[in-house]
Structure 1
Amino acid sequence: MKRAMRWAAVGAAAALALTACGGSGDEETTGGEDMTDGETSGEETVEDPDTLVLGLVPSQEMDSLVEDADQLGTLISDELGIPIETTVTESYAALVTAMQTGQAHIGMFGPIALVQAADQSGAEIVLQSVRFGASTYHTQWFTNDPDTYCLDEVVEVENEDGSTYTFCNGTDEAETGPAGEDALALIEQDTPISMVDASSASGYYYPATQLERVAELDPLSLNTQFAGGHPNSIINVASGDYPVGVSFDDARNNVVEENPQIGEEVTVFAYSDEIPNDGVAVAGDLSEDLQQRIADAMVAVMETEEGAQVYDDVYSIEGLVPADLDALDAARQVEANFAGL
């Protein structure tokens, strides 16, 4: 049986040694001054900023995210020894632009936006998130109309808090995607769909591409509404505004405290293919030494009880590992294929 409250548990991250990117941490000098070890007269010295900006994108209620982001920034700043300001942008695309223009130095992105940050902004991808011991996840499709989209009986799963979540088409048992794809063939080109963000992997790229493959729909002409956040997409469908919607699995946990009936108001009926987890990118014009120190500091914060709780509050992250660049190439290919449609 599927783990009912899969986003609730916070695991302490295992201590992971990140491969050093270079740089000894010694003070760098410029011009005709003495050069530090490893420098040559032909090398250009990188001057790092005195204050860093950490950028995030909403996956929860905005006021709560701002508060949690500020707390995370403080913990990373204390570990790193450099002041960190936080900013919450309206979308991943806006955060990619902020990285490109120097308005953000550290970004927490979904997988598609991670590769966009690398390819468009010259950012370095340094870390990926872990949830439930895995560095992949999937889109969940959900509906307020199980009579149409559930091809079998609706299954109720009771959570530890006493709330009930509903599933069908085998999604209660499936730990990975895809699942329930036969039901996706029932979606038509003009079916209203609540999606998340135009730069979101699980909230747009993967489900739109899945509909093109399974239902032969034009992913660029879907009748979509971007909710601006995964919980918002859940709320859109629960309110009856849209018959189906998408989010990460299981974003209902971000809504259940305010609406204990949310798991019965929306029923999960399908999953996408597996998607590389979200992660962290740092500005490419920072020194290699500072890039590594940022990554090390973020992992170190995760290894504390307070830090683990804040990461969970921000993005339901339970661990951070060095980025799997090969796995992220799969997300890059989805983006490239989607752009070519």
Structure 2
Amino acid sequence: MLKKMTTVSLSVLVTAGIIAAGCGDKKEGSSASPAASSAATTAASASPSPAAGGYVPKELKVQFVPSQAAETLQAKAKPLEKLLGDKLGISVSVTVSTNYNVIVEAMASKQVDVGFLPPNGYVVAHDTKKAADLLLQAQRYAIDDATGKEVPGKLVDFYKAQFVVKKDSPIKAFADLKGKKVAWQDVTSSAGYIYPSLELKKAGIDAEKDVTGTIVKGHDKGVLAVLNGEVDAAATFQDARNNVIKDVPDVFEKTRVILTTAEIPNDTISVRSDMDPAFREKLAQAFIDIGKDPEGSKIIYDVYSHRGYVKSDDSKFNVVRDANKALEGKK
């Protein structure tokens, strides 16, 4: 049975997670979000400027959700403050949340202006909470299914999920995962739970009942859990092994992938739904320019493996909505 998870539907889990985050829940040993803890001292800068078109921040608050070890992500993301601030002409605060439910709630309560949200996080923020709109979508280099390596120069607006096991593991197919230990990300993670669980469901395996699941924080942590023998398999984005190759140079020789899923829309840069249209355009151009700048491109790659940003459309995330419904057994 997946640790810290009930058998209620995914939609209930998502809603419960958001409500819990808003109430200051510290489940899984996490601490309150940086945005929430600093709300009292930053209320003035978070207040809207008197602009007819909508909210214009005096200090821009940007928050990330960890896709890798949170303790390293904060340091990697911090240099973005100056780059973005120089382009916008205002101060910028960059923080890292414990999970995206906290970011969604912070955006809904006007404590965070910009959220780097994964696809399912964006759908929840936009559809359920009415707290965020799509500003930009990330681009990444395509990943070669056979090697797990990037294909330089081939930019795409999607990625995939995968199951990673040890090279010598007896697990060859989905049926072999039954009764095994699996490392998941949060249950609302597209690559770390939703899409892999949907593939299991198609194969007649219940991700909650038929495997012993444990939640880890960061896709790199999932790969390491496999390498350390803590779990038999890990659900990660393709190919999270590149995130641990500096620490484990032979990670590709020690592991293999048993499945890659259907395409998932790339991460979003989402903004508060009440943000001024003119400021949105300025902000979007700033992020696009940062993605083209050598220093900026290194920062966003180190943080999220992003290679740049492009304007996108909400309809691209309908596949995520469909996946959620399929996992819940809805039509």
Same fold by TM (over 0.5)?
A: yes
Q: Secondary structure at the match of 1:104?
A: coil
**Does residue 124 of the first structure (1) align with residue 133 of the second (2)?**
yes
Alignment-mate amino acid for residue 55 of structure 1: Q
Q: Which has the higher contact order (CA 8 A, sep 6+)?
A: 1
Aligned partner of 2:123 in structure 1 is 115
Unpaired runs of at least 5, structure 1? 1-27, 31-43, 151-182
Question: 2: distance between equivalents of 1:249 and 1:303?
Answer: 24
Aligned partner of 1:77 in structure 2 is 85
**Does residue 184 of the first structure (1) align with residue 188 of the second (2)?**
no
Alignment-mate amino acid for residue 105 of structure 1: D
**Superposed displacement of residue 304, structure 1:** 0.7
**Superposed displacement of residue 29, structure 1:** 6.3
Question: 1: distance between equivalents of 2:208 and 2:275?
Answer: 37
Q: Secondary structure at the match of 1:59?
A: coil
Alignment-mate amino acid for residue 174 of structure 2: L
**Superposed displacement of residue 224, structure 1:** 1.5
1:248-327 correspondence to structure 2 within 5 Å: 248-327=237-316
Q: Secondary structure at the match of 1:311?
A: helix
**Superposed displacement of residue 298, structure 1:** 0.6
Q: 1:210 aligns with which of 199, 202, 207?
A: 199
Alignment-mate amino acid for residue 92 of structure 1: Y
Q: Deviations over 1:16-49 (max 9, x none)?
A: xxxxxxxxxxxx967xxxxxxxxxxxxx653423
Residues 77/336 of structure 1: CA separation in 2 closer, same or farther (3 Å cut)? farther
Question: 2: distance between equivalents of 1:335 and 1:96?
Answer: 18
Unpaired runs of at least 5, structure 2? 1-48, 142-154
**Superposed displacement of residue 123, structure 1:** 0.6
Shift >4 Å, 4+ stretches: none
Question: 2: distance between equivalents of 1:332 and 1:80?
Answer: 34
Q: Secondary structure at the match of 1:280?
A: strand
Q: Deviations over 1:103-160 (max 9, x none)?
A: 211011111111111122431111111112111111121112644224xxxxxxxxxx
Of 107-116 and 256-265, more deviation after overlay is shown by 256-265
**Superposed displacement of residue 339, structure 1:** 4.1
RMSD: 1.9
Aligned partner of 1:134 in structure 2 is 156
Q: Deviations over 1:165-197 (max 9, x none)?
A: xxxxxxxxxxxxxxxxxx123221x32111122
Identity across the alignment (%): 28
Residues 29/235 of structure 1: CA separation in 2 closer, same or farther (3 Å cut)? closer
1:97-116 correspondence to structure 2 within 5 Å: 97-116=105-124
Q: 1:60 aligns with which of 58, 64, 68?
A: 68
From the two aligned structures, give the one with the greater helix fraction: 2
Q: Does structure 1 retain, via aligned residues, the 8 Å contact 2:80–2:296?
A: yes
Q: Does structure 2 retain, via aligned residues, the 8 Å contact 1:145–1:243?
A: no
- How many residues align? The count is 267
Question: 1: distance between equivalents of 2:61 and 2:284?
Answer: 14
Aligned partner of 1:143 in structure 2 is 165
Question: 2: distance between equivalents of 1:90 and 1:282?
Answer: 19
Q: Secondary structure at the match of 2:235?
A: strand
Q: Deviations over 1:274-327 (max 9, x none)?
A: 111111100011111112221111111111111111111110111211123222
Q: Does structure 2 retain, via aligned residues, the 8 Å contact 1:194–1:225?
A: yes
Q: Does structure 2 retain, via aligned residues, the 8 Å contact 1:135–1:276?
A: yes
Q: Does structure 2 retain, via aligned residues, the 8 Å contact 1:279–1:323?
A: no
Question: 1: distance between equivalents of 2:299 and 2:53?
Answer: 35
Q: Does structure 2 retain, via aligned residues, the 8 Å contact 1:99–1:121?
A: no
Of 232-241 and 320-329, more deviation after overlay is shown by 320-329
Q: Does structure 2 retain, via aligned residues, the 8 Å contact 1:131–1:317?
A: yes
Question: 2: distance between equivalents of 1:141 and 1:297?
Answer: 36
**Superposed displacement of residue 50, structure 1:** 0.9
Question: 2: distance between equivalents of 1:339 and 1:270?
Answer: 22
